[in-house]
Amino acid sequence: MADAPPQPILQFDRVTVRFDGADVLTDLSFAAFEGESRVILGASGSGKTVLLKTALGLIRPDSGKVYAFGKDITIMSERELFDIRSRMGMLFQESALFDSLTIEENVAYPLENIKSIQCPKDQVLPRVKEALEFVELGATLEKFPSELSGGMRRRAAIARAVVTGPPLVLYDSPTAGLDPITAHTIITLVIKERDISQTTAMIVTHRYQDGNLVANFRYNSKQGTLEPARNGERQGARTTFMVLKEGRLVFEGDQDRLELSKDAYVRKFVKPRV
Amino acid sequence: MVASEFGVPPNLLDLLKEPVLAVQDFLVLTGRALKNIFLSPHYTDDIFLQMDGIGVGSLQIVALTGTFSGAVMALQMARALASYGQVGKTGTLVSLTLVRELGPVLTALMVAGRNASGIASELGSMKVTEQIDAMRALGTDPVQKLVTPRVIATAVMLPLLVIIADFVGLAGGWLIADFFLSIPSKQYWSSAWRALDWSDVAQGLLKPLVFALVISLIGCYYGLRTTGGTQGVGRSTTQAVVMATVLIFIFDLMITKIWVS
Ligand SMILES: Nc1ncnc2c1ncn2[C@@H]1O[C@H](COP(=O)(O)OP(=O)(O)O)[C@@H](O)[C@H]1O
Ligand SMILES: [Mg+2]
């Protein structure tokens, strides 16, 4: 019994998604396990966002199955999906903060609206503050998203995604469109969240250095910075790379195999390690 | 394949497919929005917020168009009635045209211009910035949170706006009657009042109720199906206003036809 293989936390089984007659994801299969980090690389338009939205049940596949936490979410009603989604955090590409709500109200939104969370009213504000402290945005509670910079919006959106403490967090291009310094801050937050809350993370990016940081660094909570993690010390916390090309999974494996790949498309995403 | 079995050229079926699917989507949205009125959670704050925007926000423009259309009707009707020597009946005709037709239709067109576009662009921007997806990801049904409050708010406010438009329209007609047509005020008001029976009032209030559903649901429908960034938002907004306007005229004709027969 003890040898029973661990159950994947998220699994795609021959998933195909079609829009207007064209395949956007084609026959996609993979399984992500608890504690794992997955870095998803791919050209723009290759279906990375669609993949994450399908994992959340926001898009229903035309064929194939998606299992989240062991349950088939492709046959669930929208109401049943709310329960599954409450265990996943999602950072949307352009943050997707509600622009009619303040930052505080945005971060409080999942606590107040997800039924299965059942956060007591007097716990909402402390948890919102804690989440905003976590992303170092403690002083912006009353501001509206439009009053913040792109990097700050991204951080507020991370706070909103993780305020409920979901075991699986999906990040859609967390560093896209940011300057290198802000991008580093954001990826540090992603790794901080992963290491402090021990979450499984799926990270879409087109920056190889993001993937490299996710794979080889860990968060040092004493110094508040990233430090290299020798492989042995991140046992059970492996990082898998996935490369998407026009909706197909053209590579899946660890960083060493990725860097050895001969595929011209895959090679375009790989840069020498920093 | 199916097409050739029935002897219909396939490209004709393809042409029909999109509008048929669109109508189907629209009816599904309508069904869900109306069903949600009876389901929790109720977003009462959102309903009041929308009532304020749709009702109070449209008050000025509705009062303005009401007054002017009443005044214009009084001038036109008096001229037409003059050839029969019946200028004294101006109040009757102004009141009938206003309550049965002009009040509901003009008010609905004004509100369509302001709010079908407003709703479509707001929901459209939320759609293209993934806020609608975020809502679903965070445990909210966008139809319940966004569509139903707008439908309720419009359905409550539009009939009220029409009542106001009818009254200010009558007052506009009265100003003309009093200053230019030398019809005594008392005669104008009593003929205007006597002209109406309950069926007119019922028709005059049923129409705005139907128009309210058209305006809010069309605005939401085009908003929620927006794709293609900010350009798409502009497109949805225009389409919503055009479609709402056309549908208002079609439903007006249908209701009037049913009422008359
Ligand atoms: N809602 C939609 N309707 C139609 N096509 C879509 C939709 N969402 C995505 N697509 C298409 O799917 C493809 C993949 O998109 P996406 O997953 O957003 O790419 P990316 O890898 O850049 O995130 C694109 O060609 C896009 O045009
Ligand atoms: Mg994307």
- With respect to residue A97, please indicate whether it lies within any of the assigned structural domains: no
Average pLDDT over residues A141-150: 92
CA of A20 to the centre of ligand 1 (A): 11
CA of A242 to the centre of ligand 2 (A): 15
* Counted domains in chain A: 2
Which residue, by CA, sits nearest to atom 26 of ligand 1? A45
- With respect to residue A211, please indicate whether it lies within any of the assigned structural domains: yes
List pLDDT tens digits, range A189-230: 999 999 999 999 999 998 899 999 999 999 988 888 898 886
Contacts of A53 in chain B (CB under 8 A): 133
Say whether both A181 and A209 belong to one domain. yes
Of A92, A99, A160, which has the smallest distance from its Cβ to B133's Cβ? A92
List pLDDT tens digits, range B189-217: 999 999 999 999 999 999 999 999 999 99
For residue A271, what pLDDT is reported? 82
CA angle B176, B180, B185 (to 5 degrees): 60
Residue type, A122: D
Say whether both A149 and A207 belong to one domain. no
Alpha carbon distance B169, B99 (integer Å): 9
The pLDDT of residue B46 is above 90: yes
Interface test with A, best of B135, B138, B224 (most A CBs within 10 A): B138
Say whether both A68 and A171 belong to one domain. yes
- With respect to residue A4, please indicate whether it lies within any of the assigned structural domains: no
Residue A40's CATH number = 3.40.50.300
Contact B138 A92 (CB under 8 A): no
For residue A229, what pLDDT is reported? 82
CA of B246 to the centre of ligand 2 (A): 37
Residue entry with tokens 């359905």: B155
Range of the domain at A107: 102-165
CB of B128 within 8 A of CB of B228?
A: yes
Say whether both A39 and A173 belong to one domain. yes
Q: Give the rounded percent of residues in chain A with a pLDDT score beyond 70.
A: 95
Average pLDDT, chain A: 91
Q: Give the rounded percent of residues in chain B with a pLDDT score beyond 70.
A: 96
CB of A95 within 8 A of CB of A145?
A: yes
Residue A47 Cβ < 6 Å to ligand 1: yes
**Confidence band of B44 (pLDDT split at 50, 70, 90):** very high
The pLDDT of residue A258 is above 50: yes
The pLDDT of residue A235 is above 80: no
For residue B260, what pLDDT is reported? 84
- With respect to residue A83, please indicate whether it lies within any of the assigned structural domains: yes
The reply to whether omega before B41 is within 30° of 0 (cis) is: yes
Q: Which of residues 52-91 of A touch B (CB under 8 A)?
A: 53, 56, 58, 78, 82, 85-86, 88, 90
Contact A94 B138 (CB under 8 A): no
Contact B133 A53 (CB under 8 A): yes
- With respect to residue A92, please indicate whether it lies within any of the assigned structural domains: no
Average pLDDT over residues B95-102: 93
Domain-wise residue ranges, chain B? 44-260
Question: Scanning every residue of chain A, which has its alpha carbon at the shortest distance from the alpha carbon of B127?
Answer: A96
Say whether both A23 and A83 belong to one domain. yes
The pLDDT of residue A3 is above 70: no
For a ligand 1 pocket test, name from A19, A25, A207, A243 the mutation site with the most ligand atoms within 8 angstroms of its C-beta: A19
Say whether both A156 and A175 belong to one domain. no
- With respect to residue A156, please indicate whether it lies within any of the assigned structural domains: yes
Say whether both A178 and A262 belong to one domain. yes
Say what the ipTM of the complex is: 0.92
Average pLDDT over residues A136-148: 90
For residue B8, what pLDDT is reported? 59
For residue A118, what pLDDT is reported? 82
Alpha carbon distance B216, B202 (integer Å): 21
- Ligand number nearest to the C-alpha of A172: 2
- For residue A106, which phi and psi values (nearest 5 degrees)? -60, -50
Say whether both A274 and A172 belong to one domain. yes
Q: Give the rounded percent of residues in chain B with a pLDDT score beyond 90.
A: 80
- With respect to residue A73, please indicate whether it lies within any of the assigned structural domains: yes
- With respect to residue A9, please indicate whether it lies within any of the assigned structural domains: no
Order of all β-strands in the sheet with A22-32: A22-32, A10-19, A63-68, A71-72
If one compares A234 and B3, the residue with the highest pLDDT of the two is A234
Of B137, B139, B140, which has the smallest distance from its Cβ to A58's Cβ? B137
Contacts of A94 in chain B (CB under 8 A): 129-130
List pLDDT tens digits, range A50-65: 999 999 999 999 999 9
The pLDDT of residue A39 is above 70: yes
DSSP notation for chain B: -HHHHTT--HHHHHHHHHHHHHHHHHHHHHHHHHHHTTSSPP-HHHHHHHHIIIIIHHHHHHHHHHHHHHHHHHHHHHHHHHTTT-GGGHHHHHHHHIIIIIHHHHHHHHHIIIIIHHHHHHHHHHHHTTHHHHHHHTT--HIIIIIHHHHHHHHHHHHHHHHHHHHHHHHHHHHHHHHTS---HHHHHHHHHHH--HHHHHHHHHHHHHHHHHHHHHHHHHHHT--SHHHHHHHHHHHHHHHHHHHHHHHHHHHHHHHH-
Say whether both A54 and A79 belong to one domain. yes
The pLDDT of residue B175 is above 90: yes
Say whether both A225 and A251 belong to one domain. yes
Say whether both A207 and A263 belong to one domain. yes
List pLDDT tens digits, range B79-88: 899 899 888 8
Residue A145 Cβ < 6 Å to ligand 1: no
CB < 8 Å & 24+ apart, contacts of A53-60 = A53/B133, A54/A12, A54/A15, A54/A17, A54/A25, A55/A10, A55/A12, A55/A88, A55/A170, A55/A202, A56/A85, A56/A88, A56/A90, A56/A170, A56/B137, A57/A81, A57/A84, A57/A85, A58/B133, A58/B136, A58/B137, A59/A17
